[in-house]
Amino acid sequence: MTYPITGAGAVASIGGDLDEVFRSLCEGRSGLAPLRAFDRAQFNAQQLFEIDDRPAEGLDEPGRATRFLLEAVRQAAADAGLPEDLAGIPVLVGTGLRELRSLELWWRDGVPFGADELHFENALRSRFGAVDTHTFAGACSASLYALALAWDLLEQGEAETVIVAGCDVVTESMFGQADRVQFDPPSSVRPFDTGRQGTILGEGAAAVVLGRVPAEGRRPRGWLRSVAVNCDAHHQTAPDAAGVRAAVRQAQDRAAVTPEEIDLVLLHATGTPLNDRTEATVTAEVFAEARPALTGVKSLTGHTSGSAGLLSLIVALRSLETGIVPPIAGLTDPLSEGAGLNLVSGGPLTGPLRTAQVNSFGFGGVNAVAIVAGAA
């Protein structure tokens, strides 16, 4: 089984749409900047990959995750040629942190907020008329989890078209908890490099439109071949190679592709010592007989939490379409577990690409892996 991806949209610190995000990745433009709205005196770390959309410098406002979500969904729906009214189309949103930033501003500063605004139902209904809307909080792999459920809806014949999205802004509580345990905050995110010191959070939203069949007369963006989801059931924050390996193998089995048939892997690659080591070990093992190009986006976008998986997937689609793979920015000295892997560094790699794997892993060992193919 394979389903057409008929539209895509994205917003991140490095671009307001998919083309701009992809150009920034190829040109090595980073979204890392000094804290834009948090009180700098309260944190050791002083940088984040925030989207620069606040009307007043240094002042935060509620509802930003919702705003980015609506923009990504708008772009994806328009790209797929869907009408503005999305009634009758399920919208599945994966997010790590929902509108918890607004909750923080409500509790601390008294900004008006209600429990019904923690999720995105009301916003999606009033903006697009969508009623079958769902907010999933599956840690950092949330948006690919939502993609797996969309797959099941199509496969079970319960929908003809599904919109899947991911969105996240940085919350002070998540940033603060990370800050509490990172005594020496990283100055940059350096995935798969021996000099990596940890991750830095980012903001972003991504959306795709999936159909059971391609729209007539329109070329799809690409094809979704499979999505595998599982859980390590191992540790609260540390990854487990067995769980990650099982998710990768399951995704390849479900798509009926061999490792040799995969030309590109979008790594989860957060730049944290243990996560990258585990992912490199599993990748080297699974692709022992193959040499796909490996890249990741987080050195330039930051770790965009629940939206990260879908953002990577959209970048993979763009690479399949253009034959251009953006490099892992900042990678100069690959970690030893990655020796022999074809990690793209320095500049973009060009060449024909047909099939890509997208990795997304989260806290609690919540893993999701997707396989996509180009439209050609």
Min dist. Cβ of residue 242 to other proteins (A)? 9
Backbone angles phi, psi at 241, to 5 degrees: -60, -35
Binding mask 310-349 toward other proteins (x if CB under 8 A, else -) reads: ----------------------------------------
Q: Which of residues 257-276 bind other proteins (CB under 8 A)?
A: none
Tell me which DSSP letter residue 327 carries. -
Q: Which of 46, 160, 180, 339 binds other proteins (CB under 8 A)?
A: 180
60/71 with CB nearer other proteins: 60
Q: Select from 151-159, 196-204, 283-291, 315-323 the region that touches other proteins (CB under 8 A).
A: 151-159
**Tokens standing for 353?**
């690409």
Q: Which of 139, 244, 257, 344 binds other proteins (CB under 8 A)?
A: 139
Q: Select from 69-77, 142-150, 208-216, 312-320 the region that touches other proteins (CB under 8 A).
A: 142-150
DSSP string over 221-264: SEEEEEEEEEE--S-SSS--HHHHHHHHHHHHHHHT--GGG--E
19/160 with CB nearer other proteins: 160
With binding defined as CB under 8 A, does residue 158 bind other proteins?
yes
Q: Which of residues 185-244 bind other proteins (CB under 8 A)?
A: 229-237, 243
Backbone angles phi, psi at 111, to 5 degrees: -65, 135
Determine whether 236 is exposed, middle or buried from the number of CB atoms within 10 Å of its CB (0-12, 13-18, 19+).
exposed
Tell me which DSSP letter residue 356 carries. E
40/354 with CB nearer other proteins: 40
Min dist. Cβ of residue 260 to other proteins (A)? 26
Give CA–CA dist 299/306, Å, rounded: 17
42/187 with CB nearer other proteins: 42
Strand pairing report for 161-168 and 133-136: unpaired
With binding defined as CB under 8 A, does residue 62 bind other proteins?
no
| Binding-residue total with other proteins (CB under 8 A) | 66
Give CA–CA dist 353/375, Å, rounded: 11
Q: Select from 28-36, 78-86, 171-179, 338-346 the region that touches other proteins (CB under 8 A).
A: 171-179
Which residues are within 8 A (CB) of 212 and not within 5 positions of it... i.e. 6 or more apart?
Answer: 3, 154, 159, 160, 161
Angle made by CA atoms 14, 20, 24, in degrees to the nearest 5: 55
In this structure, are residues 148 and 104 in contact, taking their beta carbons and an 8 Å threshold? no
Q: Which of 22, 43, 49, 192 binds other proteins (CB under 8 A)?
A: 43
Give CA–CA dist 124/143, Å, rounded: 16
135/307 with CB nearer other proteins: 135
Q: Which of residues 77-136 bind other proteins (CB under 8 A)?
A: 90, 96-98, 100, 103-104, 106-108, 114-116, 118-119, 121, 125, 131-136
In this structure, are residues 267 and 294 in contact, taking their beta carbons and an 8 Å threshold? yes
Matching residue, tokens 């729209």: 215
Please give the biggest Cα pair distance in the chain: 58
In this structure, are residues 152 and 263 in contact, taking their beta carbons and an 8 Å threshold? no
With binding defined as CB under 8 A, does residue 246 bind other proteins?
yes
The alpha carbons of the chain give a radius of gyration, in whole angstroms, of 19
Min dist. Cβ of residue 192 to other proteins (A)? 24
Binding mask 2-41 toward other proteins (x if CB under 8 A, else -) reads: -------------------------------------x-x
Q: Which of residues 273-312 bind other proteins (CB under 8 A)?
A: none
**Sites of contact with other proteins (CB under 8 A):** 39, 41-44, 90, 96-98, 100, 103-104, 106-108, 114-116, 118-119, 121, 125, 131-139, 142, 145, 148-149, 152-153, 155-156, 158, 171-174, 176-181, 229-237, 243, 246, 362-366
